[in-house]
Amino acid sequence: MSVKVCKFGGSSVADADCLRRVAGIVQSDPARRYVVTSAPGKRGPKDDKVTDLLLLCYESALRGVGRSEVMSEIANRFAAIVDGLGLDLPLADVLDGVERGIADSAERQLGPDFAASRGEAIHGRVVAALLGWPCVDAAEVVRFDGRGRLDAEATNRLLQQRLGEMSHAVVPGFYGADPTGRVWTLGRGGSDVTGSLVARAVGASVYENWTDVPGLLVTDPGVVPEAKPIRSVTYRELRELSYSGARVLHEDAVFPVREARIPVRVKSTSDPDAEGTEVLPVSEDEAPPTGYDITGVAGRNDFTIFTLEKAQMNAEVGFGRRALGVLEDRGISFEHTPSGIDTFSVVVSEEYFAEPGSRGALAEALQKAVDADTVEVHRHISLIATVGRGMRQKLGMAARLFGALAKAGVNIRLIDQGSSELNIIVGVADAQYDDAIRAIYHEFVK
Ligand code: ASP
């Protein structure tokens, strides 16, 4: 029989009503045998995610504050869910244990991972009680190394062993533990990764990722409210789109299922019969057409471009290595390196420059390393990726893209086309980001 792994995101499991819907979805298809859950998310725009409340508790514990009001808020949220569902699941002892664990991790300066993980840990039990299934503690089956990096292979083995003996199970998302039992998390939105690991381990026929949007949209509906849904996307396209800022699936969620060639279906709990978006484990040539020339357009703000200019740079051997070595020494990852005849630029996310003076220090170090004639620093740049398997080997795509931007009055500061021809990336001023996204969308999606 085919096996489906279902991961439910925070807003899909935010309260008792949502959870009733989730139970209906799971019970409507006997192939849905493994469920991965997030912690309760926001019930509305002004609400808090339980994970954020837990992080606040950790901060209070660091400051030595005793039982905080926030902890009571968390307890109330779970109590409302358990009562609303009519479950017989006493959580007082569990919550006391969480509170002690948070205090202990703060005292030992272990970081916020334990605290952050408890929303999923508790909610896993709630969802399991609701479905009448067993809950597997992710600390026992999702393995990290001692530095908090996921060990995907060990995890696969552990999950296979454990889930191989269980016809049905709930696995809390987002966290795991190292061999000493120390809890680590997978980064925000990391339950998607857990779902993907579980899908791979049980050899699922599909990994269903349930959320509150009707699948992936061609672009951010915050910028283009009428953005159309994407019916199907290849893994490579999805990787490009999520790297570039489209936020539906966690970036790392792609790898385990991709390797195992398992399709992902992104679906909405508020409209379970709608098709959603299918992420296909096939090459771009095998994938069906999307109906448009592009698959999606996504972007991220707040990059800085460092442009080094030096006469005769093109003839100098080792220039790029020396410049990039400066970034490597400082642990800075770069996004792109557009270059000209006598110029070499590196694009770096602004997140590296939180410390005052660090941007200028990097510019200076780059200048010195290559003995550049000039270094220019341009801040507040957005990178926008137009992605699509339909773009490959098609004449005039770049012309249409640049034409649309020109017509919208958007000045292009940087251009980068991957040699896969799967995307064209442009850099524009942050202030022109929305205009650029709208112009590209309306050019290609009619
Ligand atoms: N609860 C975690 C977060 O808010 C992880 C997840 O939902 O995937 O980021």
pLDDT of residue 279: 92
Regarding predicted confidence, which is higher, 81 or 255? 81
The finding on whether 219 has its CB within 6 A of some atom of ligand 1 is no
Look at residue 86 and tell me whether its pLDDT is greater than 90: yes
Instruction: Please give the pLDDT value at position 446.
Output: 83
User: Residue 293: which pLDDT band, with cuts at 50, 70 and 90?
Assistant: confident
What pLDDT does residue 246 have? 75
CA of 66 to the centre of ligand 1 (A): 25
- Among 160, 162, 190, 161, which Cα is nearest to 176's? 190
Q: Which of 18-32, 206-220, 230-244 has the highest mean pLDDT?
A: 18-32
Question: Does the pLDDT at position 245 exceed 80?
Answer: no
Specify whether the CB–CB gap between 7 and 209 falls below 8 A.
yes
Nearest CA-CA partner of 203 in 353, 2, 41: 2
Distance 354 CA to ligand 1 centre (A): 25
Give tens-digit pLDDT for 11-43: 999 999 999 999 999 999 999 999 999 999 999
Confidence check: pLDDT of 397 > 70:
yes
pLDDT for res 185: 98
Q: Say what the pLDDT of residue 66 is.
A: 65
The answer, yes or no, to whether any atom of ligand 1 lies below 6 A from the CB of 112, is: no
pLDDT exceeds cutoff 70 at 84: yes
- Residue 186 CA, closest ligand 1 atom number: 5
Cα separations in angstroms, 407 against 9, 265, 442, 443: 39, 37, 12, 11
pLDDT tens-digit profile of 112-153? 999 999 999 999 999 999 999 999 999 999 999 999 999 999
| Residues 194, 171: Cα–Cα separation, whole Å | 8
pLDDT number for residue 291: 82
Asked if residue 214 has pLDDT above 90, the reply is no
**pLDDT, the chain, mean:** 94
Residue 177: pLDDT band with limits 50, 70, 90 = very high
Burial code (b: 16+ CB inside 10 Å, e: under 16) for 352-372 equals bbeeeeebeebbebbbebbeb
Taking the centre of ligand 1 as the mean of its atom positions, its distance from the CA of residue 101, in whole angstroms, is 19
Q: What is the pLDDT of residue 368?
A: 96
Contact 205, 31 (CB under 8 A): yes
Tell me the CA–centroid distance for residue 131 and ligand 1, in Å: 21
Whether 67 shows a pLDDT value over 70: the answer reads no
Question: Going edge to edge, which strands form the sheet with 423-429?
Answer: 334-336, 343-349, 296-309, 374-387, 423-429, 414-417
Q: Is 124 in the pocket of ligand 1 (CB under 6 A)?
A: no
Sheet holding 4-8, edge to edge: 169-172, 32-37, 4-8, 206-211, 264-268, 277-280, 232-234
What does the pLDDT average to over 292-309? 94
